[in-house]
Amino acid sequence: MKNNTIPYSTMTDRKMPRLLSALKIVPVIWLLIFTAPAAAFSKTIYYDYNILGHLEQAQESTGTVFDYTYDLMGNRKAMTVTPQDSDDDGLGNGEEVILYGTDPYAADTDGDGLNDGDEVAYWGEDWNSDFDNDGLINLLDEDSDGDGYSDGFEVGRGTDPGDPEDYPSITLPPILFLLLDGQEAP
């Protein structure tokens, strides 16, 4: 029986030194590229099991929650994912950054008195319109119609924050009414 093994010392593959030198460089590059961001993406996951040992909920340290439901036989029926909402405005952080351009850490990005989630619901399909042509979309504009009243103030008073001709009326105290001699306030 003939031995087909070749002793390591007799191998003469000329590509080996290049390969070895490349392998020495790759780990250094890998460390530079992947080590620093790895800490930024690390998270802890908490698991909650029922008495039958079924996973009922998993919650990431980032805030995302996964809820699981089971049928009577113990088969998983559904998984519901609730995305992280750092500012509790009703919009997930991903939606705010990617879709709407709002700040996921500020409930009212434009400071108009309406939180971002309520504002998206109010504007509907017009959330990215620019009614006053000032270069800011409604969702990011404190005064979407340019009439001098914030969107939140107008919505609170029952007027249309998208119509500059529909603005809140101001009720004057009786003393100011007398001082103006019955005339309307400017």
Instruction: In whole angstroms, give the CA distance from residue 168 to residue 155.
Output: 9
Amino acid residing at 98 = I
* pLDDT of 107 strictly over 60: yes
Average pLDDT over residues 165-175: 76
Residue 160: Cβ-neighbour burial (10 angstroms; 0-12, 13-18, 19+) = middle
Say which DSSP state 149 is in.
S
Q: What is the dihedral of CA 111, 112, 118, 120, to 10 degrees?
A: -90
* pLDDT of 160 strictly over 80: yes
pLDDT of residue 116: 95
What are φ and ψ of residue 133, in 5° steps?
Answer: 50, 40
Q: Is the pTM for the entire model greater than 0.85?
A: no
Instruction: In whole angstroms, give the CA distance from residue 158 to residue 156.
Output: 6
Tell which wins on pLDDT, 152 or 41. Answer: 152
pLDDT of residue 7: 47
* pLDDT of 157 strictly over 80: yes
